[in-house]
Amino acid sequence: MNFSPRLEVDLDKIKYNAARIVALCHQHGIAVLGVTKGIAAIPQIVSALLEGGVDGLADARTENIIELRNEGFTAPITLLRIPRLSDVENVVKYSNVSVNSEIEVIRALGRAAQNLGIDHDIILMVDVGDLREGVMSENVLDIVRKVIQIEGITLQGLGTNMGCFGGILPEYSNLSILVELAQEIALKVGVSLQVLSGGGSSSLLLVEEGGVPAGINQLRVGEAMFLGTDTTNNRIIDWLKTDAFLLKAEVIEVKTKPSVPIGNIGRDAFGNIPEFADNGMRNRAIVALGKQDVYIEGLIPVDDQTSILGASSDHMILDITDTRQQISVGDELEFRVTYSGLLSVSQSKYVTKVFRKDAVWLS
């Protein structure tokens, strides 16, 4: 427990969140995939999701999926990032399902699946307005007709993504596009789709309000399970735990210094020209944590009287003038993480991860 910096992870809270989300979604006939990309597929955390009852796993990185298989995880796994042509063999070998939008890639997946003597399921992604990945709705029928001719490939269903690029909110109207397309496919192509995947954490609000169109039967959830938040809707989900992760870093300097650097200002180590407000002399602390360790903008000091002034690659500078307790060299300061902070710190080799389960700390 003396490693610093370290990320403390409460596995029981993550399991609790997963179980609450699964219970809510199952009441509405919606399966839940636990999205592991935000925590770099750390095995202990993945196990907590499965203990919470998720119906499968999903990750955007083939590398993470391979590691999960090597760790012995046998749950169904969906690849969430549209596959690279150069990686199709790994995709069909290690994932059960992949999301897709390019017919050339789907054909390559089919060839790889045939070579391995297996079938590979795909979700055809539909762009309903967020303008990230996906086929435009008017082109879906044509693509489906081509996909069902590809040997080694099974069209499992349709999916969409919202909030991650364009910030588009899930609504009854845009999710209904998937339902209407599925009905059209059944009528004109004669294919009945098993899955209509209607987004992620941002779609939970619709589930809570009973506003998900009938026919949407899968969500892919990560952020809400880990942090109890929904960034797209800018809300804290009050029925979930929000403190499963705590980042701690050791103080390595405490000094009173001016709030504005002395001398002519050029660019900082990252090529930016910094700006400073003149607040006079301030008490400052430096912790052994920097941009090489974590996305600094994704950290929130637990003490709300402490503020982050900035960071270099190895040092984070904080204003502790109004902090409630006296801070000395060797003390630890605590930080909550947003989703962007969690995404970066989970894969940092410089931050030790420790886990709490059933009130016991596990290294």
Catalytic residue IDs: 37
Dihedral (C-alpha) 81, 348, 267, 338: value to the nearest 10 degrees? Answer: 70
Separation CA 108–CA 103 (nearest Å): 9
257: left (phi over 0), alpha (psi -120 to 50) or beta: beta
Separation CA 95–CA 78 (nearest Å): 6
Token reading at 125: 């992604």
Separation CA 207–CA 342 (nearest Å): 25
Token reading at 338: 């947003």
Q: For residue 110, what is the enclosing H or E element?
A: helix 103-116
Distances (CA, A) of 159 to 56, 57, 123, 223, 328: 16, 16, 6, 19, 52
Separation CA 353–CA 7 (nearest Å): 5
Going by C-alpha positions, the residue among 275, 271, 303, 267 that lies closest to residue 287 is 303
φ and ψ at residue 131, rounded to 5 degrees: 65, 35
Angle between helix 43-51 and 11-27 (nearest 10): 40
Residue 344 and residue 43 in contact, taking contact as beta carbons nearer than 8 Å: no
Please tell me what DSSP assigns to residue 328.
-
